[in-house]
Structure 1
Amino acid sequence: MTASCNKYYISAIIGFTFITLSGCAPVEREVPLATRIANATPAVAVTARGETAPVGTANADAADDPAIWRNAANPAQSLIVGTDKKAGLYVYGLDGKTRDFLDAGRVNNVDLRDDVVINGQKGILVAASDRNDLANAKVALFLLDPATAKLTALGKVDGGKGEAYGICLYRDAAATYAFIVLKDGTINQIALDTAGAAPTARIVRSMKLASQSEGCAADDRTGILYVAEEDAGLWRFDASATGSTTPVMIAAADGRNLVADAEGVAIAPIGEKDGYVLVSSQGDNAYVAYRLSDDSYAGRFRVGAGAIGGTEETDGIDLMLGDFGPAYPGGLFVAQDGHNAAAAQNFKLVAWDDIAKALGLR
């Protein structure tokens, strides 16, 4: 979490007018946690059914963002890719055990897509926001082998000038794209070409939010991109490469439903257009769901301590519906845990069925 000025957060609440205030208003997370929780809309509690091994970087804010790959042929053998933003990428099984680690340096967020043509064959493409050069953002690309759970580096492509922060992938009939979110709120849409021996890319357009942003998720069905601006709230954009670059606010970080920082973003797609978008309400250790159909508020939940510990100060999240085996028959929600008892940070695994039941979602 950061201690940044909250100017734009105030302007967003009073109606999308971009104004400049003299001085800085206090941000939500400078208020004691107990007060933030007391002021926020009540959140129902769920518990995790699993967790990953801790990342290798101890005593640091290191684990950050997960991405889920579902094995349709053998759901219990699905995989989770997670970042240690100080060191590289981990691959975990659903049992939480480490299957692979690749030293990729400072990679912050991660996403993946299956059935992408990679060097002439279809495979699982993994993309991470690469912060090894803070002045020049890169998208680091990898191939995930589902049989061995091993990652192979494919190369890096240009992400624009600035510090790489968030990333999410999007696919339409024309191409596979990476949206890279720079720390200053710039969002570059990058058309990827991984068909040849080395990946190539081009920035097809840029969008801008007013302040520090990170988490994002794109809905391949509806062509909508969702981005969290930490002190302002959750926005959506047209994800088409030729679409409007004007953002539409879904929810302000009002200290009630959504408590700054607004962090990780994930989508629960249902049918052709319906479902939910979830965002990490980091300021009060909660998660908020909004309906995709009309952007309306659908509920809040926390991952509390049970047989496995709960989550606090979550950065990245991911969510995928479908069968993931006996423990997660309806889908899997994965959240970074910022305080994993005495161990290094890790990721907690929650059954979507538990979340949907607690919130009364269909």
Structure 2
Amino acid sequence: MTRHPLRRLAVCALTAAVAVLPAGPALAGGGTLPAVHPRAETPPLRDDEAGGNADADDPAIWRNPADPDRSLVVATAKEGGLRVYDLAARLVQSVAAPPGPGADDAPGRFNNVDLVHGVKLSTGRADLAVTTDRGNDRLRVYRIDPARPDRPLTDVTDPAAAPVFSAGQDEINEQRTAYGLATFTDRTTGRSYALVSRRERTRIALLELTPTAQGRVGYRTVRTLDLPSAFRLPDGTSWSPCAEPGEAPQVEGMVVDPDNGVLYAGQEDVGIWKLRADLTGTPKLLDKVREYGVPGTYDESTEECVAGADPGYGGTRLTADVEGLTLVQQKDGDGYLLASSQGDDTFAAYDRETGEANEYEGGFRVTAASAALDGSEECDGAAALNQPLGSRYPHGLLVVQDGHDAPGDGDTGVTNFKYVDLGDVLDALDD
């Protein structure tokens, strides 16, 4: 998560030749985006000296096929580990993030989470929750057990699992570690994978999940891909997003379309990339943030960027950072790619289609339902599931992170997750 959209310094001299997809139409007439309201919210998480070190970030929705009313939301709370909630947004389970080894421990810090279904373990088939342990540069894997409603998650991570990117603990302590995450299963081979991005770098790694004979799950690196860190502008100049010295424009929000094996990856201060989930072929920039091409100079005294004049090369729908990406899957390949436009508290929707256009279909805001139930601001992560979830959400569910729970109280470090009826979202996009 980045709170300052233009805080990065242009540090890379490499200029990338990238394919840019045609831009879709802006909102007709420049009108106001429709609003949808949450139906429920999880208990607050606090990231301050008084309240603890938990900070809401990324959710995933697990549907209980035997009893959809008992479906769950699994979410990261950063140094607070994982939280599991029921459909009433009540806390079911807390899982601590393990500390790092050695005297110079980096604290455990879970960043993103995603699900894998029907993985064949030596103990039987299971649904898994996979999370990036940013504090230890590893993946951690949890089996979801519906027979244990009060403690559904059990750690099944292979103890021999190695760091994803780092060569050793000293490098892990620098925290350029496993960050964003998306999982998928290859329908041809049945093998399951995780795509993992590296914090403050442009690298994405493809990892195959590897069950062991002991009922555990490890992983192996298949290949990596580096997205561009510098871009050729129409006027012939080179541009990189502003950042603190030594940082490159990172990726966090990611999602894979299982029908066509396409990965959508949000490079926070650049835009949304579309590429093959096996990390082969040429990535294409689906849409750009408004700040794309804006020069900036990093001010060490304020630890922020001073932006220059906007040359007008950016997009019109996303305000940096582009964050949580999720799919609304409908029949025959229809549906939407949803993206959190963190800088202006909105969500953008793109046509989910097998072609290359992915046209912009509109957007929406998640706004307060009442004085007691606010909306979503500076949203980091989002998850949608277009399946019936019992009596509470028969039309499906959208869960979004709220970076400012009770925003009228200022920046208090209080965050949580909001539950939105997916039917309300689809109605807003169809209007």
Give the structure-1-normalised TM-score: 0.85
The equivalent residue for 1:165 is: 179
2:141, 2:41 → 1: CA distance?
Answer: 26
1:294-318, Cα deviation, whole Å (9 max, x unpaired): 3100111010011321010000110
The answer (yes or no) to whether the contact 1:61–1:338 under 8 Å persists in 2 is: no
Provide the C-alpha distance between the structure 1 equivalents of 2:9 and 2:46, rounded to a whole number of angstroms.
Answer: 34
Match of 2:115 in 1: 112
Counterpart of 1:359 in structure 2 is: 429
Counterpart CA distance in 1 for 2:376 and 2:147 is 30
Instruction: In structure 2, give the amino acid aligned to 1:89.
Output: L
What's the CA shift for 1:6? 6.5
Structure 2 spans left out of the alignment, 5+ residues: 21-29, 98-107, 167-175, 230-248, 291-314
1:257 maps to 2:317: yes
Which residue does the alignment assign to 2:369?
A: 306
Q: Find 1:214's aligned residue among 252, 267, 274.
A: 252
Residue 272 of structure 2 corresponds to residue 234 of structure 1: yes
Counterpart residue type for residue 170 of structure 1: F
Contact 1:317 1:334 in 2 (8 A): yes
The CA distance in 2 between the partners of 1:59 and 1:178, in whole Å, is 30
Matched, 1:291 2:351: yes
Shift of 1:195: 4.7
Whole-angstrom CA distance in 1 between matches of 2:177 and 2:142: 20
CA contact (8 A) 1:320 1:333 kept: yes
* 2:58 partner SS: strand
Q: CA RMSD in A?
A: 2.5
Corresponding residue of 1:28: none
The question of whether the paired residues in 2 share the 8 Å contact of 1:63 and 1:345 is answered with yes
- Contact kept in structure 1, 2:58 and 2:381, CA below 8 Å: yes
**Which residue in the other structure is 1:30 paired with?**
none
- Of 255-264 and 48-57, deviating more is 48-57
Which residue identity lines up with residue 418 of structure 2 in the other structure?
Answer: K
Partner of 1:336: 401
- Contact 2:54–2:81 at 8 Å: present in 1 too? no
**Aligned positions, number:** 332
Displacement after TM superposition at 1:290 (Å) = 0.3
Match of 2:329 among 265, 269, 292: 269
Give the SS at the match of 1:64: coil
Match of 2:45 among 55, 62, 75: 55
SS in 2 for 1:189: strand
Pair 302,87 (structure 1): closer, same or farther in 2 beyond 3 Å: same
**Deviation (angstroms), 1:256:** 2.7
Question: Which contiguous aligned blocks of 4+ residues in structure 1 show a shift greater than 4 angstroms?
Answer: none
- For residue 86 of structure 2, the aligned residue among 93, 109, 114 is 93
In 1, are the aligned partners of 2:206 and 2:222 still within 8 Å (CA)? Answer: yes
Give the distance between the partners of 1:234 and 1:17, measured in 2 at CA: 12
Q: Tell me if the contact between 2:181 and 2:252 (Cα under 8 Å) persists in the aligned partners.
A: yes
Say if 1:200 and 1:327 are closer, same or farther in 2 by CA, change over 3 A. Answer: closer
Alignment of 1:177 with 2:193, yes or no, is yes
Q: Give distance in 1, aligned partners of 2:122 and 2:44.
A: 33
- Pair 1:73-2:73 in alignment: no
Q: In 2 relative to 1, CA 310–160 (structure 1 residues): closer, same or farther, beyond 3 Å?
A: same
Compare CA radii of gyration and give the structure with the larger one. 2
Q: TM-score, with normalisation over the residues of structure 2?
A: 0.72
Tell me the CA shift for residue 327 of structure 1: 2.9
The range that moved more, 219-228 or 58-67, is 58-67
Give the percent of matched residue pairs that are identical in Structure 1 and Structure 2: 35
Q: Which structure carries more strand by proportion?
A: 1
User: Equivalent residue for 2:245?
Assistant: none
Give 1:219 shift.
1.4
Match of 1:37 in 2: none
Question: Could you say which residue in structure 1 is the equivalent of 2:221?
Answer: 203
Aligned to 1:347, the other structure's residue is in SS state strand
Q: Report the alpha carbon displacement of residue 152 of structure 1 after superposing the two structures with TM.
A: 1.1
Secondary structure class of the residue paired with 1:160: coil
* 1:189 shift after superposition: 0.3
